[in-house]
Chain A
Amino acid sequence: MRSLRIHDVDAADAPHQFGGVTRHCRRALPCLVSLSLCLAGTASAAKRTHAKPAPPTTRAAAARAGTATSPATSATAASTTATSVTVSQRKTALSVTLVLKVADPTRAREALLKAVRKAGGRPSLITDHSLHLRVPPQRLHMLLADLPNHGLVMDKQLTRRDLTEEIARLRGRLRSKSAILARLRGFLDDSSVSATLQVERTMTTLVHEIEQLKGGLRVALDQAALAHVRLSFRFRTPTQLRYVRSPFGWIDSVDIPHFLRGF
């Protein structure tokens, strides 16, 4: 089967097969052309009307600085700036869990607290066996590097949680609920008693929700502002060596006291 194209149709067949269409097209074509011309004109006029000239100060500043750039360049620069701002504004919650084996926990705790205060952090829990610390994230690495000076790091777990989306969502919900609350206040002036009571009930619920959102936002921002370090102490007690005999004689001689005696 051959595909049919306009050029393939015989001239004699054309009026028979496409006659109606041709007649209609002949009438419609000028209308379409004029319509498209009108539309194009309107669009360009609208563009001229809506396109705002750049602020004179900006233009003057650009001219003064000699940095007049093409619109494309400035658009790229703007998007790059926006991206870098977005990246730098990411909020993350850092959390570190550590087990530190120390000979003297009191001394180690005091030394650690001193180091944390020096780094701009603060303790959130102090017990005989553990220490919970809040440290600025940018100083966390320095503090972790200092830990081996206080004892033997037995276990270390670092977790990082991105809070950017959560904070943005909480802020958005807070904004919308606050706007609804403000609008409801306006209804209180001209409403009946029953309507007033209903509005007040809704407002109470809204206030409760807003407070919850504010609390959540405060917690998220606090988590992003300070890293959480949970430190557990293990006491270093001398090991009592068990005297176990190996079936292989030489293995019994692989031992620290034996080594030191024979050295």
Chain B
Amino acid sequence: MRITFCVGVLLLGLFGCGPVFQLQAPEAFARFDSGDHNRWITADGVRMRIREIPNEPRATLPFWTEALSGHLKRRGYVRKSERCFKTARDLDACTLDHLLARGSGDWVMSVTLFVVEDRLVLIEVVGPWQRWKRHEPALSAAIAQFSPRR
């Protein structure tokens, strides 16, 4: 009885605390080992982060896309593009790319949104525009293969 309970707890721990997603980051990105494992960085300083947020209030992908886009615009960001697509696992996603003049150059804030039932999964990529542009095709390809755990 005890053994079954322990195995059950162990299995719950294994599946419950495992990675919340599957992402094959582009080769140019190195993963941080400390703390959470959802952060990557390139040699030239383009950063990527994945995080989960409760889908509260429960809403759809177009709702959150519009809310985020509107907020960034009001903040002073310039919208570069908005692209909605289906991943290889048939999951709906939208990528919003916004520009911000920072220092002597433009910076990009690229956010890809997934709505997975009661969670929102965000892939945020930030970096100077010129450098981000070099990694953008590889990033798009990786995000198209992204699979959040249901």
Could you tell me which A residues sit within 8 Å of B by CB distance?
101, 103-104, 152, 236-244, 246, 248, 250-252, 254-256, 259-260, 263
Is the pair B68, A259 in contact by a Cβ cutoff of 8 Å?
Answer: no
Chain A residues in 8 Å Cβ range of B68 = 251, 254
Could you tell me which B residues sit within 8 Å of A by CB distance?
39, 41, 47, 49, 53, 67-68, 71-72, 74-78, 100-107, 109, 111, 120, 122, 124, 126, 129
Is the pair A241, B76 in contact by a Cβ cutoff of 8 Å?
Answer: yes
Chain A: which residue is nearest B77 at the CB level? A239
Given contacts A242-B76, A254-B71, A263-B41, 14 further A-B contacts (CB under 8 A): A103-B105, A152-B129, A238-B101, A240-B76, A241-B100, A244-B74, A251-B71, A254-B109, A256-B109, A256-B126, A259-B109, A260-B47, A263-B47, A263-B49
A-B contact pairs, 18 of them (CB 8 A): A101-B106, A152-B129, A238-B101, A238-B103, A239-B76, A239-B78, A242-B75, A242-B76, A244-B75, A254-B122, A254-B124, A255-B75, A256-B107, A256-B126, A259-B49, A259-B126, A260-B126, A263-B47
Chain A residues in 8 Å Cβ range of B101 = 236-239
Chain B residues in 8 Å Cβ range of A255 = 75, 109
Chain B residues in 8 Å Cβ range of A259 = 47, 49, 109, 124, 126
Is the pair A241, B75 in contact by a Cβ cutoff of 8 Å?
Answer: yes
- Residue from B74, B105, B111 within 8 A of A242 (CB atoms): B74
- Residue from B41, B100, B103, B120 within 8 A of A250 (CB atoms): B120
Instruction: Kindly state the separation between the CA atoms of A118 and B122 in the bound complex, as whole angstroms.
Output: 47
Answer whether A254 and B72 are a contact pair too, CB < 8 Å, given A101-B106, A152-B106, A237-B101: yes
Instruction: Kindly state the separation between the CA atoms of A256 and B105 in the bound complex, as whole angstroms.
Output: 14
Chain A residues in 8 Å Cβ range of B104 = 103-104, 236
Chain B residues in 8 Å Cβ range of A256 = 100, 102, 107, 109, 126
Is the pair A246, B67 in contact by a Cβ cutoff of 8 Å?
Answer: yes
Output the least CB separation between A239 and chain B (Å). Answer: 4
Instruction: Kindly state the separation between the CA atoms of A250 and B53 in the bound complex, as whole angstroms.
Output: 7
Chain B residues in 8 Å Cβ range of A241 = 75-76, 100
Instruction: Kindly state the separation between the CA atoms of A263 and B32 in the bound complex, as whole angstroms.
Output: 10
Instruction: Kindly state the separation between the CA atoms of A59 and B124 in the bound complex, as whole angstroms.
Output: 77
Chain A residues in 8 Å Cβ range of B102 = 238-239, 256
Output the least CB separation between B3 and chain A (Å). Answer: 42
Which 5 A-B pairs have CB atoms at the shortest separation, nearest pair first?
A103-B104, A239-B101, A250-B53, A244-B74, A246-B71
Instruction: Kindly state the separation between the CA atoms of A120 and B109 in the bound complex, as whole angstroms.
Output: 39
Output the least CB separation between A255 and chain B (Å). Answer: 7
Instruction: Kindly state the separation between the CA atoms of A152 and B47 in the bound complex, as whole angstroms.
Output: 21
Chain B residues in 8 Å Cβ range of A251 = 67-68, 71
Instruction: Kindly state the separation between the CA atoms of A254 and B103 in the bound complex, as whole angstroms.
Output: 19
Chain A residues in 8 Å Cβ range of B75 = 241-244, 255
Instruction: Kindly state the separation between the CA atoms of A75 and B53 in the bound complex, as whole angstroms.
Output: 77
Chain B: which residue is nearest A240 at the CB level? B76
Chain A residues in 8 Å Cβ range of B53 = 250
Output the least CB separation between B66 and chain A (Å). Answer: 11
Instruction: Kindly state the separation between the CA atoms of A101 and B106 in the bound complex, as whole angstroms.
Output: 10
Instruction: Kindly state the separation between the CA atoms of A250 and B120 in the bound complex, as whole angstroms.
Output: 10
Chain A residues in 8 Å Cβ range of B126 = 256, 259-260, 263
Instruction: Kindly state the separation between the CA atoms of A252 and B67 in the bound complex, as whole angstroms.
Output: 11
Chain A residues in 8 Å Cβ range of B39 = 263
Chain B residues in 8 Å Cβ range of A246 = 67, 71
Output the least CB separation between A66 and chain B (Å). Answer: 56
Is the pair B106, A254 in contact by a Cβ cutoff of 8 Å?
Answer: no
